[in-house]
Amino acid sequence: MFFKNEKGTNVIQFGTGDINVSPALLDLPEETVGALTFEELEPSKIGTAGIERTCDNCMVGDDHTRLVFTRVESVREVIKYLQKVEELMVFDSET
């Protein structure tokens, strides 16, 4: 679900299967850029495969939000911190 909280911060809340997360490759004239797109869907089973976008269909603008990466190192940093969030959540649910 996409919303703004009481402080005006944009929030993407995961957990009900209503967000399609898809990898994309933005093949721009000056550089190739990786992206992760987020689109609102009807709720469904979490983990259902997303729509993989290619340079032919990634610029259509159907996505609500994009994370855009110009360097692979940036992708690795986001993955590292998402893994840390997972560890924190698993630890908290076990205590």
Rounded to 5 degrees, what angle do the CA atoms 78, 19, 66 make? Answer: 45
What is the per-residue pLDDT across 6-65, written as a single tens digit (0 to 9) for each?
A: 999 999 999 998 888 888 888 778 888 888 988 888 888 888 755 555 555 555 466 788
Q: How many domains does the chain have?
A: 1
Distance of alpha carbon 57 from the chain centroid: 17
pLDDT at 89 over 60: yes
Q: What is the pTM of this model?
A: 0.75
Could you list the residue range(s) of the whole structural domain that residue 79 is in? 2-94
What local confidence, expressed as pLDDT, does residue 60 receive? 44
